[in-house]
Structure 1
Amino acid sequence: MTTPPRPLHLAVALDGAGWHPGAAAPDGNPYGPEHWTALVREAEHGLLDFVTLEDPPRRPAAGPLAHRLDALLVAAALAGRTEHIGIVPTAVLDRAQPLHIARAVATLDQLTGGRAGWRTQVTPARPINLDELFTPEVQRPMAELFERAADLVRVVRALWDGVSDEKELRALAPGRFAPADPDPQGSFTAIEPLGGTAGDWLTLDGPALAPPAPQGHPLIFTLAHISLPFRYGARSADVVSVTPHSAEEAAATVAEIRAAQSAAGRADETVHVFADLVVLLDTEPGRAAERRARLDEAHGGPFTSDAHIAVGTPGEVADLLLEWQRAGISGYRLRPAALPDDLTAVTRALVPELQARGAFRTAYEADTLRGLLGLAPRTV
C-alpha cells in the first residue's frame, strides 16, 4: 500500500499586482483595505498557513504599481478582518530598531490572537551583480550584515521575553548599542558605542516593554538564496524559504541548512525549509503557458526570477511540490504571477488537488500560526 505524503505547508507571498511584471493592475483601489482583505481572505479560504506582505526598501512593486504601503500597517489592518490565517509582514533590518520591531510584531500577535510573524529581510547597500557576489570584497560586508541581523533577532526575542535591563540587552549583542543620552534635556549628540565599533542601534533607559505575545515568540521567516543567509536562517528563523530549481538542488540546500542548524545548537528544534515558487496555473493543459507568453509580451520580454517558475495544471504543479517534498522541503511560499487569478487558482484548484492526494489539510487545526506549523511556543 502506498504511504500517503506528509501534509505540506503552504503560504502565499503578496506583492503588487503579482510577481510577473507584466501583470495588469487589479480592478478598484489596489492600495485600499478591500483589495488586501479580499486577497488574504481568499488565501484563508484555501486554508493556507500564512501570507507574507512585501516591503523592500529599494524595489518598486512588481507590475504597474509604483507605490508601496507599509507592510506592518497593512498587517494590522488585516488582523480583525481574518480569523485563522497567519499574517507575516516584512520589516527590513537595515535600519531597524529592536524595540520598535519587538513592539510592532508583538502588538500584531495580540491583535490577531497569535497569528503574527515577521519576515526579516537584509538588503545590501547597493545592488550586487552575480559575477561579484562571491568575491571577498562582497562576502565580508555581507557576512557582517547577517551577523547584525542575527544579533537583532536575538535582542528582539529577549524583548519578547520581557528583558528590559539595558546591560542584559547589550550583552546579547556587544557593540551594537549606544548608551542612552546622559543629558536627556539637552540636544542629542552622537555617542561612541560601548563594547564595540558598530554602534548601529540606540537603546533608551527603561525601554517600554513589548506586550506579551500569545505565541511566546511570533514566527520568524526569512528568504535565503546562498550559504550566508542559509546559516543566518538556520541560526535565527523558524522558517527558511529557499529558491532551488530542481529536486537535487532542493536536497542539497536542505542538507546545508540542517548542518548549519546543528552547528547553531538547534538540532532538536523544528526549523522548516520552504521553497519559493512563482506559479502560473490553469486547469486546461497549455493554457498557463499561453498566459505566461501574454504576460511576457506585456512586459516586453521573458520574465526571469530568482525562484523557479512553475507553469502548468494543478496536477502538474502538485507533482512538483510532492517531488521536492521528498527531497526535504516541508512547505512552499507561492508567488502568484498575476493577482488575483493565480491566487484563486492556488486556493480553488491546487489546494483541492493536494487534498485529494492526502497532502494538505482539510480544516485549520490550530488557533496560532506556530500551532499550524507544528512549532511549540517559543522563548529564549
Structure 2
Amino acid sequence: MSSSTPAPDLGPRAGAAPLSLCAREPHVPADRLVAEMVPPPRFDSVRFDTYVPDPGRPSQSEAVRVLEEFAGGLGGAHAVGGAKRGLFGFGRSRAPKAPAGPRGVYLDGGYGVGKTHLLASLWHATPADPSLKAFGTFVELTNLVGALGFQQTVRTLSGHRLLCIDEFELDDPGDTVLVSTLLGKLVEAGVALAATSNTLPGKLGEGRFAAVDFLREIQGLSAHFRTLRIDGEDYRHRGLPEAPAPCSDEAVTRAAHATEGASLDDFTHLLEHLAKVHPSRYGALTDGLRAVCLTDVRPVPDQSTALRLVVLADRLYDREVPVLASGLPFDRLFSEEMLNGGYRKKYFRAISRLTALARDGQRLTAPA
C-alpha cells in the first residue's frame, strides 16, 4: 500500500469475535489502484544486495548484474522541453518513433527463484521519483485498464520512467490484444518495461487458449523484452521442513478468537464469496488482517474457483498475512488434472506461497 493511503482499521481486539472475509465487499476507487502501484509490503525493503544467489545457479548472479545495469540506464531525464526521451537518454522529436530492439527485461523462471524480489529491487534502484515508477501484477494492470479505460491508462502511465509487471500471464485472447496494444503505446512514449513470469514470452497463452490465432500479438509482446532465464529451486522450501499438518477446527477457531485482527471463515463459503468480488479488490479484501483462519479446507472444485484462489493467495503472500487452516493440506487443493493443465505454474506458485504462509501461521497456536 502506498504511503498516501490511510492505514486501515485493524478490526476488533483479541478476544472479540474475529473478522470474516465473507462479510467484506470492498470498493476500490480508481485513484487507489494507481496509488498502490508500488512494490507490496513484503518487498518494501528488498534490494539487489539482499538477494542471495544460489552459488550453483550462475544465472541468478547474472540476472542481478544485468538488472543493476538496466536500472543505471534509467537515470536520464524522461522529458526535456516537452519531448520524451528514450531508455538511455536518447532524445526524440515531437513525433515518437518506435525504438529499435527490446525496451525491457523479462525474468523467466520457476516459482520461488526470487523473480519478484529482483523486480522490486529494480523498482527501488531506478533513480526516479516513486510517482514516475509503477509496479503491479499483470492482473492489477488489466484491472487498472478496466477502471480507468484504455486511453486514460495510456496517459497515466506514459509519463513514467519504468513499468514493472509481476506474474505476467495471458489467460485469454482479450488480454493478449489489450496488453500488446498497451505496452506498444507505452514503449513509444519512452517507458521502460520489466516483467516476471513462469513462461517465456513467446510461449505466453499456450495451453490456455488458441495462442496460434494471436501469434502476431504474442510476438509483438515478446519483441519488447530481453529475456533473462533464472534457474533454481524454490527458496521458500530450501532447507525448510515439510509443510505443517492442518490443525483441528477447534484449534483454528480458538486461534482466530485469540488473535487481534484475525479472520475466521469456512473455506467453502470463502470460495463462494470470492466469486462475488472482482479479483482487483482482493487486496482491499485483506486490508488490516493480521491472520487468516480457515476451517474445513477441501479440494477446489473447478478451474474458475482455483484461479480466484490463486489471486487471493498472491495478495496474502504480498502482505505477509499468516494462514492457519484445518482440513486438507494446501498441496492437495488442486486436482491432478489442474496441476497438469495450462495453469499448472499458477497452481504450484499458490501451493508454494500458501505453504510458506501456513508455516508462519503455526505461531498462532503457540502458547502465549
Same fold flag (TM > 0.5): no
Which structure has more helix as a fraction of its residues? 2
Provide the TM-score with structure 2 as the length reference. 0.26
TM-score, normalised to structure 1, is 0.26
